[in-house]
Amino acid sequence: MYRSAYIFVLLPAITLLSACSSIDPATQIPSYIHIDKINLNTTYSTEGTSSAKITDAWVYVGDQYIGTFELPATVPVLKEGLNNVSIGAGIKINGISANRGAYAFYAPFMQNQTLIRGEKINLTPTVNYLTGLTFSWKEDFETIGISMIKGTGSDTVIQKAGLPDAFEGSSCGAVYLPGNYFEGVSSSSFVLPNNGDDVFLELNYKTNNAFTVGIYASSSSVPIPALTIKPSAQWNKIYVNLSTITQLVPSTSYAVFFSMNRDAAISQAELYLDNIKLIHR
C-alpha cells in the first residue's frame, strides 16, 4: 500500500471525475482530510534530532492511493465511514522541488478515521524512523570533540560555534574561510550499501557560500561529489541521496566530506552545520 522514495508525481495528484447521470450525485460529495504539517518523533540517543523538512503528504485511504499533496493541504476523498488513513512523509530529495518522494526511512502514519461526506477532519500526523535502520554517523556538535578532520589542502578547519549561531542545543559546527578552500572529512569510514539500496545523509545547514557534499571510497583517494548546495541565509534541512554514487563506486567503506571554494565576491565564506546523520538500512 505505502510506496517509498523515488516515485514522482505532479502536485496535486487528484482528479475528480465528472459524475455520470446514472450515478447518484450524493455519492460524489467528498469527505475532506486537512493536514497542516507532518512532525517527526525520534529517540534522541539513538536517532538524533527530530528536525525534519517534510514538504508533502502521500495519502492512502484503505487500499486506495489518493494522491500526493504539498503541505498544507486539504485532501478530498470519495469515501465515507470508518477507514484506515495512511499518510507518508514526503521530502524533496537533494533539496530539488522536481525530485520528490516519500522518504524511505520514515514509517507512514496510520490511523482509523470516520469520514463524513461534506465534512472535514484535521490531522497533524507524527511519523517515526523505521525500525532496523543503521545510523552510521551522528554529529550534533554537542559532545567533546568533533568527528571530522581537516582535508588535504584545506585552508581551515571546522570548529564549534555556540549561541546564537547554533541551530538547536548549545553548539553547531562552523567553518570560517577567509582563504580559498575548505575540506572537512569524517574521521571514520563507514560500511555502506553499494548495491543501490538507500543511503542518505541528513543535515541542517546555513551558509553564505555554496558547498559540496560527497564521499571518499576507501579504494580511491579521489573525492566523489554527490551534491553542491546553494547558499542559505537561514537554517535549512536537506536529505542528500548517496546511494547512486556508492553504487557507482563499490568499496569496502566510505568517508563523508564537505568542501567549499570561497566565492571571490565574499571576503569570508561561512558555513554552519548541525545534526549530521548518515543512515542506511
pLDDT at residue 25 in the model: 53
103, 75 Cβ separation under 8 angstroms: no
CATH, domain 134-280, list 3.90.1150.10, 2.40.50.140, 2.60.120.200, 3.30.300.30: 2.60.120.200
The topology under which CATH files domain 25-129 is Immunoglobulin-like (2.60.40)
Residue type, 21: S
Q: From 53, 240, 214, 46, select the one nearest 134 (Cα to Cα).
A: 46
pLDDT in tens, the chain (281 residues): 444 444 334 344 433 232 233 344 556 899 999 999 999 999 999 999 999 999 999 999 999 999 999 999 999 999 999 999 999 999 999 999 999 999 999 999 999 999 999 999 999 999 999 999 999 999 999 999 999 999 999 999 999 999 999 999 999 999 999 999 999 999 999 999 999 999 999 999 999 999 999 999 998 889 999 999 999 999 999 999 999 999 999 999 999 999 999 999 999 999 999 999 999 99
| Domain extent listing, the chain | 25-129, 134-280
Burial (Cβ within 10 Å: 0-12, 13-18, ≥19) of residue 220: exposed
Q: Which three three-digit cell numbers place residue 261? A: 571554494
